[in-house]
């Protein structure tokens, strides 16, 4: 790794500018290549053994009618993922991603499976309209489990996904509290609420924020308002940053996890911008606003609102392409191709 990131940036940018193309013609792919090179500290960045990890848990707040689907769907969808029938399963196979599902707190016990990691702290969070979603100890345990999980994974890239009925409510609450944004800008339809359902969800979440008005410090906010899968994902993000693994962040809930992780450490927001690639802007209300507030730009905007890591899997080939272009394209000198003509003095253009 280079000891001078500015010098490394100049070398990589010089390489990009002298490939056989007009300067900047590969658009955001060039920025991606530079970002990964700087994160890995090398002119020859490479992504190895990518791990798509889906963090799953249930939420007690579902009892307040904030989701269009019953809580039982969490366990059913985890089973579908493990059987290979979910969207993320299809995309993981297509793009050569190793898929792992982590049971962080699914209410229904799940049978053992080679792709299932047991990390169940409790059978879902408490109903945050009545009590903190997690105790401080449970939140810390979830963060630690996420870090330990990453330590056991091979490779140098982690794609973050999630599954948990009700977790768009937890993410909206964290957005409002950690981002300081109005709640109405944070709450969306989640799994497809109609207008009446959305209005009810907003009323419930307003009561939750009021109940936990004192939980403003990041650890306290994550425990009071978050979810077991969000806290575990945050721990995974922190460990990925420590190990310089690239994080590919899926949608709204995964953004909540990395934003919470960033809030937990002094240098967090710089790490988030350098060490995360944000896959897409989801159709969930508030996601694009939060990404803008964090100062990051998503790769895709396809109207997705599925979760699971599906957007991260779809964005993955763009990352691979960006690095392949940096590594394998010829420069003008290598290919014997003439460069663009420099404008003569007084030349008015082509």
Structure tokens at 185: 């800008």
Residues in contact with 300: Cβ distance below 8 Å, sequence separation at least 6, in sequence order: 279, 280, 281, 311, 314, 315
Q: Are 218 and 262 in contact (CB under 8 A)?
A: no
- CA 107 to chain CA mean position, Å: 24
Residues forming a β-bridge with 196 = none
Helix (H, G, I), strand (E, B) or coil at 343: coil
Q: Are 327 and 321 in contact (CB under 8 A)?
A: no
Q: How many CA atoms lie within 13 A of 188 on its CB side?
A: 23
Based on C-alpha coordinates, what's the Rg of the chain? 21
Helix (H, G, I), strand (E, B) or coil at 95: helix
Nearest Cα to Cα of residue 64 among 193, 252, 215: 193
Transcribe 18-59 into DSSP letters. TBSSSTTTTTHHHHHHHHHHHHHTSSS----S-EEEEEEE--
- With tokens 């999980």, the residue in question is 149
Our answer to whether residue 308 is catalytic in this structure is yes
Give the C-alpha separation, 263 to 247, whole Å.
Answer: 16
- With tokens 């707040």, the residue in question is 61
Q: Are 64 and 129 in contact (CB under 8 A)?
A: yes
Residues in contact with 39: Cβ distance below 8 Å, sequence separation at least 6, in sequence order: 45, 244, 246, 274, 275
Instruction: From the candidates 229, 243, 308, 334, give the one annotated as an active-site residue.
Output: 308
Give the C-alpha separation, 80 to 73, whole Å.
Answer: 10
For the annotated catalytic residues, the residue numbers are 308
């Amino acid at each position: 790794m280079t000891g001078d990131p500015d010098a490394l940036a100049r070398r990589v940018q010089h390489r990009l500018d002298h490939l056989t193309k007009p300067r900047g013609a590969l658009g955001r792919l060039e920025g991606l290549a530079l970002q990964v090179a700087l994160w890995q500290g090398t002119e020859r960045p490479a992504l190895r053994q990518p791990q798509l990890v889906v963090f799953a848990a249930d939420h007690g707040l579902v009892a307040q009618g904030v989701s269009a689907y019953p809580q039982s769907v969490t366990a059913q969808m985890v089973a579908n993922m493990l059987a290979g029938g979910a969207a993320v399963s299809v995309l993981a196979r297509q793009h050569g991603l190793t898929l792992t599902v982590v049971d962080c707190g699914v209410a229904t016990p799940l049978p053992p499976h080679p792709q299932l990691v047991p990390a169940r702290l409790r059978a879902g969070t408490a109903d945050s309209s009545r009590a903190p979603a997690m105790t401080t100890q449970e939140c810390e345990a979830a963060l630690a489990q996420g870090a330990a999980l990453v330590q056991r994974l091979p490779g140098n890239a982690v794609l973050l996904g999630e599954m948990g009925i009700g977790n768009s409510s937890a993410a909206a609450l964290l957005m409002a509290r950690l981002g300081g944004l109005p709640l109405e800008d944070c709450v969306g339809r989640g799994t497809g609420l109609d207008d009446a359902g959305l209005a009810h969800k907003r009323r419930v979440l307003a009561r939750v924020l009021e109940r936990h008005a004192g939980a403003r410090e990041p650890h306290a906010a994550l425990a009071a308002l978050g979810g077991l899968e969000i806290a575990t994902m945050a721990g995974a993000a922190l460990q990925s940053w420590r190990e310089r693994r690239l994080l590919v962040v899926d949608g709204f809930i995964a953004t909540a996890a990395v934003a919470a992780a960033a809030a937990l450490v002094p240098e967090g927001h710089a790490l988030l911008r350098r060490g995360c690639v944000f896959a897409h802007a989801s159709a969930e209300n508030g996601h694009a606003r939060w990404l803008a507030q964090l100062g990051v730009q998503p790769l895709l905007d396809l109207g997705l609102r599925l979760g699971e890591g599906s957007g991260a899997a779809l964005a993955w080939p763009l990352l691979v392409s960006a690095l392949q272009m940096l590594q394998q394209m010829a420069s003008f000198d290598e290919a014997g191709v003439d460069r663009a003509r420099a404008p003569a003095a007084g030349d008015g253009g082509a």
